[in-house]
């Protein structure tokens, strides 16, 4: 329980990778602030943590809205006193829609949540961390933030998240703020779970390009986030950590 005085904010913490990562942080002794656009889902994750003996608050926010992000940070500080770690996990899928076929409203939704939302979260998290003397940010990027993908809206926003990660890492490294990202491949939770279900009758089609021969788990991502958040990664800045079973080695 060496981390019992450290507070972690997890956006998109109502389910999938976010929920599993929040539970993993709690099991290691961190205090949690769970945020989700779905208030009920955020509350459920916080309740699971409390039932396990942990400390957690829950918060509702649409991260694409500046005033809601600012309110979120105020609530977290009022509840916990500081913000040691932020896992910016919230995001939406744009589907496998080629660039010329994307509807403008669909592109805007992906852009505003994945890119603008991550930027807003980082902006106000960094301001808080500068005030308190430091902190750690881990963004949920994607292998689509490193590789190409047919789905142009999702791919372009995740490349943007990779850029935000590197830019902030350079800007704030000497201010005691570390910024990194995890880049999951196909994971059996969240957005990945929906794709896996879609191809349930032909699983080999999904795993053929993954060198280890199987999809990953939310726990795999959670452990990567925990490592990047820990003092063991104190010399790691601006890194995009692949969690993809070797897919990106191709």
Q: Which residue numbers are catalytic?
A: 154
> Please, are residues 129 and 76 in contact by the beta-carbon 8 Å criterion?
no
Q: Of the candidates 144, 205, 189, which has an alpha carbon nearest to the alpha carbon of residue 20?
A: 189
């Amino acid at each position: 329980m060496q981390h019992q005085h450290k507070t972690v904010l997890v956006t998109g913490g109502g389910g999938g990778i976010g929920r599993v990562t929040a539970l993993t942080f709690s099991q290691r002794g961190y205090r949690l602030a769970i945020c989700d656009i779905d208030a009920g889902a955020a509350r459920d994750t916080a309740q699971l943590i409390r039932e396990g003996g942990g400390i957690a608050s829950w918060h509702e926010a649409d991260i694409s809205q500046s005033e809601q992000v600012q309110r979120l940070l105020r609530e977290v500080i009022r509840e916990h006193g500081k913000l040691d770690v932020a896992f910016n996990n919230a995001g939406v899928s744009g589907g496998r829609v080629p660039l010329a076929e994307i509807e403008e409203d669909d592109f805007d939704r992906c852009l505003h949540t994945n890119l603008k939302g991550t930027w807003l979260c980082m902006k106000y998290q960094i301001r808080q961390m500068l005030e308190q003397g430091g902190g750690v940010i881990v963004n949920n990027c994607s292998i689509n933030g490193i590789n190409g993908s047919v789905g142009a809206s999702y791919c372009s926003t995740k490349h943007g998240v990779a850029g935000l990660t590197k830019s902030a890492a350079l800007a704030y490294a000497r201010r005691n703020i570390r910024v990194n990202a995890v880049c999951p491949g196909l994971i059996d939770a969240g957005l990945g779970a929906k794709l896996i279900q879609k191809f349930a009758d032909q699983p080999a089609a999904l795993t053929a390009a993954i060198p280890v021969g199987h999809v990953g788990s939310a726990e795999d991502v959670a452990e990567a986030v925990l490592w990047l958040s820990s003092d063991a990664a104190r010399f790691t800045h601006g890194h995009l950590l692949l969690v993809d079973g070797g897919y990106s080695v191709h």
